[in-house]
Amino acid sequence: MSILITGSAGRVGSKVVKRLLDQGDSVTGFDLRPSGITHVNYREVTGAFDDRAAAQRAAKGTTAVLHLGAFMSWLPSDSDKLHRANVDGTRVILEEAAKHKPRRIIFASSGEVYPENVPDYLPVDEDHPIKPRSPYGLTKQLGEEIVRFVERTTSIPATILRFSHTQDAAELLDPTSFFSGPRFFLHPKIKQQESFNNIAAVEKLKRQDDGTEALVLSRNESGRPFRMHITDTRDMVDGILLALTAERAAGRTYNLGATAPVDFAEALPLMAQLTGLPLKTIDLPGGGVFYETSNARIRNDLGFEPKWTIDRMIAEAVQARRDRIQAT
Ligand code: NAD
């Protein structure tokens, strides 16, 4: 008998596995990749979510399912892979898990279902219309539908958590990091914009490139600095475990993330000051990123209280960057 955690090798899933093992639970991990976690109460299945045989092995004896794994990509060419992993994968793993009558399903959805970066109103709350614009956001909307279908037809209570953008603090100042590299560093940002074929953005970015490593303060075409939520993985783990244990969370949908959004006009100068890196301010074509998402429902219902402000995350990121540089 154990708690099934999908995405057990991932940023969020691996930390949830460790927290549950620390508190004495038995856990089964399920991921394409091995997590490297070893523990007497830990079993791991490697395989794809939509592989029926692997899902069957992973689901054996499950007492609760935390479906935290997914494929994340914003490339239209990844659409088939996104639907296989996030839609069919969700259907197959939940069908297999439901046979064991777990007490709860927790599903990691995303603010991409609204989507937060094209909001009808601010702050974005859980009643905001769902009209995703990316293939990834669409797969999360369909994943939510599958979760509610399974809940309706099996009476296993489910909680949907619409995740904020989530990072380990150490990733923030790592130019090789999947999200923070292109978000905050000039060269990875040029590469990312080239892969999206955003020619106008690439030209603007390249004009600022003198060949040295630099941070980027992104603004929209009218000069408005980007603003978005960046939540520390540790706070997300707290929210997930609250949702798993609270009776009140059954059948509910919550935005899960930091209380205050990060204003890039404040965070980037701080990062530059603390690292000594040059900062380039760039007005990118289009409306840019500017949103605020309300976490009031999960705070009021479950007492969720995030602890990792962006300043605390940046302080840790600076130390991690120093350690990386020293190690090379
Ligand atoms: P992650 O990429 O670090 O981890 C996801 C894990 O899922 C990976 O270990 C990957 O190997 C596994 N995986 C992907 N496709 C698979 C498949 N077909 N079969 C088996 N395993 C597969 O992601 P994360 O940051 O830990 O995110 C956790 C969840 O939160 C995901 O569902 C993601 O969509 C969602 N989410 C994340 C963010 C964010 O900013 N990190 C924001 C919103 C929502």
Which residue, by CA, sits nearest to atom 17 of ligand 1? 48
Q: pLDDT tens track of the chain, all 328 residues?
A: 899 999 999 999 999 999 999 999 999 999 999 999 999 999 999 999 999 999 999 999 999 999 999 999 988 899 999 999 999 999 999 999 999 999 999 999 999 999 999 999 999 999 999 999 999 999 999 999 999 999 999 999 999 999 999 999 999 999 999 999 999 999 999 999 999 999 999 999 999 999 999 999 999 999 999 999 999 999 999 999 999 999 999 999 999 999 999 999 999 999 999 999 999 999 999 999 999 999 999 999 999 999 999 999 999 999 999 999 999 8
**Architecture of the CATH domain 2-163:** 3-Layer(aba) Sandwich (3.40)
Residue recorded with tokens 């979510």: 49
Distance of CA 280 from the midpoint of ligand 1 (Å): 31
DSSP assignment string, 147-192: HHHHHHHH---EEEEEEPPEE-GGGTT-TTSTTHHHHHBHHHHHHH
Ligand 1 binding pocket includes 97 (Cβ within 6 Å) = no
Catalytic annotation, residues: 136
Distance of CA 200 from the midpoint of ligand 1 (Å): 30
Ligand 1 binding pocket includes 161 (Cβ within 6 Å) = no
The domains spanning 2-163 and 169-228+260-291+309-327 adopt the same CATH topology = no
Confirm if 283 and 207 have CB atoms less than 8 A apart.
no
Which residue, by CA, sits nearest to atom 4 of ligand 1? 10
Ligand 1 binding pocket includes 163 (Cβ within 6 Å) = yes
Q: Which of 170, 163, 179, 173 is nearest to 238 (CA)?
A: 163
How many CA atoms, within 13 angstroms, populate the side-chain half-sphere of residue 237? 19
Site to probe by mutation for ligand 1, drawn from 14, 31, 92, 230 as the one with most ligand atoms within 8 Å of Cβ, is 31
Ligand 1 binding pocket includes 92 (Cβ within 6 Å) = no
Distance of CA 281 from the midpoint of ligand 1 (Å): 31
Ligand 1 binding pocket includes 93 (Cβ within 6 Å) = no
Ligand 1 binding pocket includes 238 (Cβ within 6 Å) = no
Ligand 1 binding pocket includes 2 (Cβ within 6 Å) = no
> What sign does the dihedral 18-19-24-30 (CA atoms) show?
negative
Which of these CATH numbers, 2.40.160.20, 3.90.25.60, 3.40.50.720, 3.90.1150.10, describes 169-228+260-291+309-327? 3.90.25.60
Separation between Cα atoms, residue 126 and residue 296, nearest integer Å: 10
Distance of CA 85 from the midpoint of ligand 1 (Å): 10
Judge if ipTM > 0.90.
yes
Which tokens hold the place of 165? 């953008």
Q: Where are the domains of the chain?
A: 2-163, 169-228+260-291+309-327
Which residue, by CA, sits nearest to atom 19 of ligand 1? 48
